[in-house]
Copies of this chain bind each other. A is one copy, B any other.
């Protein structure tokens, strides 16, 4: 690594650590460099001319620019992984029965905790899932809960009240009809398909209009984003926000807007996408490290870590990569194991 890069790395490292503009002398003091401060200054000058670092005022130390962070992330970053996170993730994976969702949730809690940043889980896009089963469970005199399960094990439900008592047989045949017609249907096609079925159920069961309404509403809810945030409060610890609440407000607002989050988290070609301080989208001082995660039998999801531009990229990226890889590997292994151990006869289970 040439000297200029070396200095850039130190500037970024130090700024990430202290949140203070870093000057030439500080750098020497802290890292025992054997150039003089003047040399550093001239290098910094060059770095500034190239747009990697900036001054906050004419005679201040330097602060990385988005371009600087970018270069740091792409070229200067080192891996940084420690035993603690490995151990913690292992603990999660060692639990006997874990759905992938549970594992992802707990892993994100760990990620948030260990990076002091927000982590975001963006579930697979509902529209690609298919409904596999639907149940109507009576829960009282005149109310029932409809339960819908998709092929990724996602469950949506809706409780509704009906004016009259319903014959249990009617419910049963209604459920059967609905399952016959709807199971296997992609979420996105549920609404039109349901409209087609409407006349059929209206003959079949009393209170059909309420049932119909309830189902329609639930179908719409499917489409809404499956998005979870962990460690939202961690942002309060970031020094950038402790004076300027408005910045905090902005990022919090961003985090409360599912559409925006999806937008931001989703895009990106590769496995890992790193977005730093995009000036267009009002995310001037925000960085997002996001990874795709794919486990067998599930659609692809995303895990992202969101925080101020000044985040510890080495840690964040290494941790996130490690977590995603480990989770994927874990479920693949289990899948393989299961496949191998299973005879290829085909009884039951598949079509119900």
Q: Give the B-binding residues of A (Cβ under 8 A).
A: 96-97, 99-102, 132-133, 135, 137-143, 145, 147, 149-153, 155, 157-161, 163-171, 210, 213-214, 217, 232-233, 236-237, 241-242, 245, 248-249, 252-253, 256, 297, 334, 337-338, 341-343, 345-350, 352
Contact = CB atoms under 8 A, between A and B. Distances in A.
Contact of A167 (B102, B217, B347): B347
Given A147-B155, A159-B101, A245-B241, A169 B348 contact: yes
Contacts of A256: 233
A139 B132 contact: yes
Nearest to A145: B153
Contacts of A102: 158
Contacts of A133: 137, 139
Given A141-B349, A163-B337, A165-B349, 17 more contacts: A99-B160, A100-B159, A132-B137, A145-B153, A153-B159, A163-B338, A163-B341, A163-B342, A165-B347, A165-B348, A166-B349, A167-B347, A168-B352, A236-B248, A236-B252, A241-B245, A242-B245
Nearest to A347: B167
A147 B214 CA distance: 19
List 4 tightest A-B contacts by C-beta distance, closest first. A153-B159, A168-B348, A99-B159, A155-B157
A156 to B, nearest CB: 9
Nearest to A135: B135
Contacts of A232: 232
B142 A338 contact: yes
Contacts of A217: 97
